[in-house]
Structure 1
Amino acid sequence: MKFVIEKTVLVKGVSKIQGITNRKTDFPITASVLIRTHGMNVSVYATDLETGFEGFYSADVETEGQVAVLSKKLFEIIKDFPSDFVQLEAVEGKMLKISAADNVTKAEYHILCTNTDDFTILTNIEDMVFYELDALTLKDMIDKTLVTGIPDDERAHLIGLYLEILEDEKNIIRMVATDGHRLIKVDRTYEISMNIPMKTGVILSKKGMTDLLKLLEAGGQVEIGFRENNFIAKKDEETIVSRLLEGDFPDYNEVIPEEIETRLKVSKQSFVALLKRMLILTNDRFRAIVFHLNSDKLEVTATNPEIGDSKEEIPIDYNGNSFEVAFNPRFFIDSINEIKSELIVMKIANEKEPCVFFGEEDPDYISVIMPMTV
């Protein structure tokens, strides 16, 4: 195998697999990238056996073939390579020679090859039916739900995002995520019915969706589909295949409180700034801050015997009774950072019920946070 490719093109492809190949697994091949020639194109493929990525890129191919090398080492070499065009050549199937394609730059690297036979393709996407979505809309939904984090837990509802297509309700695509202490729900409407054959929702891997974000960031349209218990997203010449998670996702409608008449409105900028200051006095043992709700002001206090205490007030528009309730401020900050509206609307019934909040101009992105006991 021997070909010449533009450095920025190769870097673009190899950079998108770093999240996949840098994960710890029991299989050494998951740290490698498989590079293959296809006529006048070169493909870059990697998998952690749960998520796979393949991209096709234009190249000047002299001899065809394939080679596998450590993904991280290849990326570190090519990202700052001193030539705009890079030549890759397999040497007796044991080494990959990386050199400058021009006759001026003197730069040459050799890295050991790994076994190409160990690679498995997660699923075949030929003859698949795909459905188009706006890439930035899908990216925004994933960004918003991923604030719940990826815990060290094997339960599907904690390490996954729940995806639903609600054709009967104004063509809504919905994502829901939880970490057991909070729940995020995002709805977006698409204009044309996609008729995706989904009788129930599916659970997408949070890790796989993290990898998908790199595919979506340039905007445009993305095609999505399902096959053999896999979620597939295809954009231009790049494809992500992510295995669906098995398990039950809790009924999120039971977590979200029914209509609450008590509402509080507060400036997003003032509120998040206050929360960040309060966060200074929290740690792993003392995470809670206390909201003291009154008709025209919100008093927030933090007490940490290991550090100190604090108290602040900000003006609010509130139509309920006075009471106190404790929350983890980090959960509010995570969600508010994804809200574009200038005003935050919070619905709190009492000190025992969850708090529901959203941006005034985007009620289809809601966060539900459980209160804490102090």
Structure 2
Amino acid sequence: MKLKCRKDDLLYGFQQVQNIANARTTLPILGHVLMDAKGEGVTLTATDLEVGIKIHIPSQIEQEGITTLPARKMFNLIRELSNPDLKIEVESNHLAHIYCGTSFFKIIGASETDFPKLPLFDQEKRFTLNQKDLKDLIHKTSYAISKDETRYVLNGLYLSFQDGKVIAVATDGRRLAYAQAPGKSEETLREFILPSKAIQEISKILKDEGQVLFVPFENQVAFIFKSSKGVDECILISRLIEGSFPNYKQVIPSKVKGMVILDREEFLSAVRRVAVVTNEKSNLIKISFSKNLMTLLAQTPDVGEAKEEIPLNYEGEEISIAFNPNYLMDVLRNLEESEISLEFNDAISPGVIRNGSTFLYVIMPMRVS
């Protein structure tokens, strides 16, 4: 194998694949990246047997070839190079010679024979979404994914394609985030649960332009990332979480007694300040509504008390509800719009934060002793 390429292009490729390649596994080959040089570039492939990634790097191929090289070592090496261009030559024994300006390195590789092949899939049944929209869906919902491994079906992001839109839902049982965006599908309805690790890797790839194709097959899904010119830049394949996602519609209140419009930044800042006096044992703030006023209060034994008042337009009955401040800050930090609505019924019913018609966040109240 002999190839020449831009250092920054190869660095970007290794940056994406080295997150999936795992050098600590009992299978050493999974700590390597498969390099396949042919045609107009080199393809980098990595897998941990749950998530796989393949990315194409434009290169000048002088001699076609295939090998595997240690992912983390290559990433660290390329990152430190100062010359914008580099050359890689790989011998038949998989010893790689790397030239960059006045620098020269030898990296010991391994045969591609034992490297797991990524599964093949048919693109006939697919769903299409703008990369920016998927990026927005993940940003607005993924923080609510459960980290409790005993609740397996909640350890991922639920995605549903229907009626020309894609719906994303995440919940940990104490709060639920819902968002939707326009999407094009070749089927009338398809739904699946994508694991957290796949979500993390997809987030690193997504850009503000171009499209992403979803291709479900068997118990897996392939994501094909296309540039603004329609060129395939990257493919990520992930296993899906088996099981049925809870009926999220049942936890969304159908009626509300009170609703206020809030400045998102002002509300976030107030919650952040009041939360300073909370701790793990008393991690709640009480939000009270009275005529044209919202009051945030936190009282923690052995710590102190904090109180914030925010004038607003409210004419309903007086009510107090306690929430976990971290759950409030999570949603407020991950929205961009200047205003949000907060809906509520009583002290023991969930509150709902809305942002237009395409986002809502259900948060369970906390009991006050």
Aligned partners of 2:97 and 2:107 also within 8 Å:
yes
Tell me, what secondary structure is at the counterpart of 2:357? strand
Which of 196, 199, 202 is matched with 2:187 structurally?
Answer: 196
Aligned to 1:51: 51
Aligned partners of 2:30 and 2:47 also within 8 Å:
yes
Aligned partners of 1:285, 1:98: CA distance in 2, in Å? 56
Aligned partners of 1:156 and 1:203 also within 8 Å:
no
Aligned to 2:358: 364
Residue 14 of structure 1, CA deviation: 1.2
Relative to structure 1, is the Cα distance of residues 140 and 85 closer, same or farther in structure 2, using a 3 angstrom cutoff? same
Aligned partners of 2:125 and 2:187 also within 8 Å:
no
**Residue identity opposite 1:221 in structure 2:** Q
Residue 373 of structure 1, CA deviation: 2.2
Relative to structure 1, is the Cα distance of residues 96 and 177 closer, same or farther in structure 2, using a 3 angstrom cutoff? same
Residue 232 of structure 1, CA deviation: 1.3
Residue 274 of structure 1, CA deviation: 0.6
Q: Is 2:191 aligned against 1:177?
A: no
Aligned to 2:228: none
Tell me, what secondary structure is at the counterpart of 2:82? coil
Relative to structure 1, is the Cα distance of residues 156 and 312 closer, same or farther in structure 2, using a 3 angstrom cutoff? same
Q: Is 2:198 aligned against 1:208?
A: yes
Cα deviation code 1:64-123 (max 9, x no counterpart): 2222222122111112312111112224535332221xxxx2112233324533322332
Gap regions ≥5 residues in structure 2: 226-231
Aligned to 2:268: 272
- Identity across the alignment (%): 29
**Residue identity opposite 2:346 in structure 1:** N
Which of 221, 235, 254 is matched with 1:231 structurally?
Answer: 221
**Residue identity opposite 1:245 in structure 2:** I
Aligned partners of 1:280, 1:70: CA distance in 2, in Å? 45
Alignment of 1:1-374 (within 5 A): 1-21=1-21, 25-100=25-100, 105-114=101-110, 116-125=112-121, 128-149=124-145, 151-153=147-149, 155-167=151-163, 171-190=164-183, 194-196=185-187, 198=189, 200-235=190-225, 236-359=232-355, 362-374=356-368
Aligned partners of 2:126 and 2:186 also within 8 Å:
no
Aligned partners of 1:150 and 1:206 also within 8 Å:
no
Aligned partners of 1:46, 1:364: CA distance in 2, in Å? 35
Aligned partners of 1:305, 1:24: CA distance in 2, in Å? 45
Mean CA deviation greater in 281-290 or 139-148: 281-290
Aligned partners of 2:339, 2:362: CA distance in 1, in Å? 17
Aligned partners of 1:87, 1:108: CA distance in 2, in Å? 10
Tell me, what secondary structure is at the counterpart of 2:223? strand
Normalising by structure 1, what TM-score?
0.89
Relative to structure 1, is the Cα distance of residues 218 and 268 closer, same or farther in structure 2, using a 3 angstrom cutoff? closer
Residue 218 of structure 1, CA deviation: 4.1
